[in-house]
Amino acid sequence: MTRKILVLPGDGIGQEITAEAVKVLEHLRREGLDLELEQALVGGSAYDVHGTPLPEGTLALAREADAVLLGAVGGPKWESLEIAVRPEKGLLGLRSGLGLFANLRPAILYPQLAGASTLRPEVVSGLDLMIVRELTGGIYFGQPRGVRTLDNGEREGFNTLVYRESEIERIGRVAFETAMRRGRRLCSVDKANVLECTELWREVMTRLAADYPEVELSHMYVDNAAMQLVRAPKQFDVMVTTNMFGDILSDCAAQLTGSIGMLPSASLDENGKGMYEPIHGSAPDIAGQGVANPLATILSVAMMLRHSLEAPEAAERIGRAVEKVLDDGLRTPDIFAEGCRRVGTREMGEAVVAALRQ
Ligand code: NAD
């Protein structure tokens, strides 16, 4: 069965890094994987042509596709636009338009890059954890919200943290299933000692655990989780948490690896369809120079093959090819270390394809 992939390069280095990820996909297609690739505009580059960061046509193609590969959006050129048409709105529109409620962010430290972390190598080497973040609910979307003026004239800002049981259950199931495919340990992060909403979160996670007896479930308050992530991050296998806590903890976990150019992510809907993207942005400071690290985007392709395209073997092979180029000492400037060979975006991408051929 032909699998349709929509490629959305976006802005800045998005163009350069997705070009390399496409080379990987085209190599797999030549080997016999039944893939159909299509490209469309999103973000600032879509605004320049259509006056909107998410043209109807792009959203329609994304809905039809089995998976979406996104580069990155944004840049100084569009920063003065009104918020409604800024490039980042294109990304949010895709997430909500496709119902992508589950965000999977692995933080893996490749042994070859142990020196890149700001933490001591013994604390982080071998790190391999997955954060499952709820993406379409919680305080970022809860109503009512706003800034109001009180009777005494003082202004008051307010937001609402709200989760329905069904929302907690569906992200919980993604997390338990993810743990089943990994080390079978799941830590649910909440603030149940203070927030009733996350008391319910804890209750639902505990109830779900009965359906996954092989998974060892633990609970942790978010303040402790933040501390444990920098104290002893290897204690974690899979973490599941709310939208806002996940936003913060996943950036913290990413920084443990020290290399923003290496980390992929997946955002999934109820049926396993997903949008895959590197966690970094459009890096305007290096855009157009051919030096951006394409590995996070190539590893996003691996996540796509595993989660949306039922091709876990191809995903494994991409993971091994990336390890091979690192073993061979190839490094883009962001991960460069003494004794390695400095390469650009294209050379790194082509080395991964060459490693896949072997
Ligand atoms: P950024 O992630 O683009 O860049 C942060 C730093 O990391 C920069 O020094 C950059 O050069 C470096 N970097 C990022 N990716 C790299 C790569 N693949 N290889 C080598 N170095 C890399 O974050 P920022 O500077 O805060 O944001 C720049 C623009 O990107 C903004 O417009 C922001 O809104 C947007 N943004 C988009 C996304 C997205 O599309 N998902 C995410 C974050 C930021």
Pick from 133, 135, 250, 280 the residue to mutate for probing ligand 1's pocket: most ligand atoms within 8 Å of its CB: 280
Could you list the active site residues? 140, 191, 223, 247, 251
Is residue 71 within 6 Å of ligand 1 at its C-beta? no
Residue 38 C-beta-side C-alpha neighbours within 13 Å: 19
Is residue 137 within 6 Å of ligand 1 at its C-beta? no
Q: How far is the CA of 281 from the centre of ligand 1 (A)?
A: 3
Give me the sheet containing 3-10, strands edge to edge.
35-39, 3-10, 67-72, 274-278, 264-268, 102-108, 128-134, 238-241, 185-190, 216-221
Tokens of 217: 């479930």
Pick from 79, 81, 282 the residue to mutate for probing ligand 1's pocket: most ligand atoms within 8 Å of its CB: 282
pLDDT given at position 11 = 98
Residue 209 one-letter amino acid: A
Q: How far is the CA of 310 from the centre of ligand 1 (A)?
A: 30
Annotate 134-145 with DSSP letters as a single string: E-SSGGGT-SS-
**Nearest to 104, CA basis, from 254, 255, 222:** 254
DSSP single-letter state for residue 221 = E
**φ, ψ dihedrals at 265, nearest 5°:** -155, 160
User: For residues 160 and 284, what is the distance between their CA atoms, to the nearest angstrom?
Assistant: 34
Task: Tell me which residue has its CA closest to atom 12 in ligand 1.
Answer: 283
Tokens of 54: 């998410």
Tokens of 148: 């109001």
Residue 57 C-beta-side C-alpha neighbours within 13 Å: 12
Strands 146-149 and 155-158: antiparallel
User: For residues 275 and 70, what is the distance between their CA atoms, to the nearest angstrom?
Assistant: 7
Is residue 263 within 6 Å of ligand 1 at its C-beta? no
Tokens of 137: 């609910």
Q: How far is the CA of 282 from the centre of ligand 1 (A)?
A: 5
Strands 3-10 and 67-72: parallel
CB 292 within 8 A of CB 275: no
Is residue 286 within 6 Å of ligand 1 at its C-beta? yes
pLDDT given at position 219 = 98
Is residue 260 within 6 Å of ligand 1 at its C-beta? yes
Q: How far is the CA of 157 from the centre of ligand 1 (A)?
A: 29
Is residue 28 within 6 Å of ligand 1 at its C-beta? no
pTM: 0.92
Q: How far is the CA of 88 from the centre of ligand 1 (A)?
A: 12
Structural domains in the chain, CATH included, are: 1-101+269-358 (3.40.718.10), 108-258 (3.40.718.10)
pLDDT given at position 36 = 97
Is residue 293 within 6 Å of ligand 1 at its C-beta? yes
Cα three-residue angle 309-307-190, rounded to 5 degrees = 165
Task: Tell me which residue has its CA closest to atom 42 in ligand 1.
Answer: 281
Tokens of 335: 């991960």
Task: Tell me which residue has its CA closest to atom 10 in ligand 1.
Answer: 283
| Tens of each residue's pLDDT in the chain, 358 residues | 899 999 999 999 999 999 999 999 999 999 999 999 999 999 999 999 999 999 999 999 999 999 999 999 999 999 999 988 999 999 989 998 999 999 999 999 998 888 888 899 899 988 999 999 999 999 999 999 999 999 999 999 999 999 999 999 999 999 999 999 999 999 999 999 999 999 999 999 999 999 999 999 999 999 999 999 999 999 999 999 999 999 999 989 988 887 889 999 999 999 989 999 999 999 999 999 999 999 999 999 999 999 999 999 999 999 999 999 999 999 999 999 889 999 999 999 999 999 999 8
pLDDT given at position 280 = 93
Nearest atom in ligand 1 to the alpha carbon of residue 78 is 32
Q: How far is the CA of 254 from the centre of ligand 1 (A)?
A: 13
pLDDT given at position 346 = 98
| Enclosing H/E stretch for 218 | strand 216-221
CB 25 within 8 A of CB 37: yes
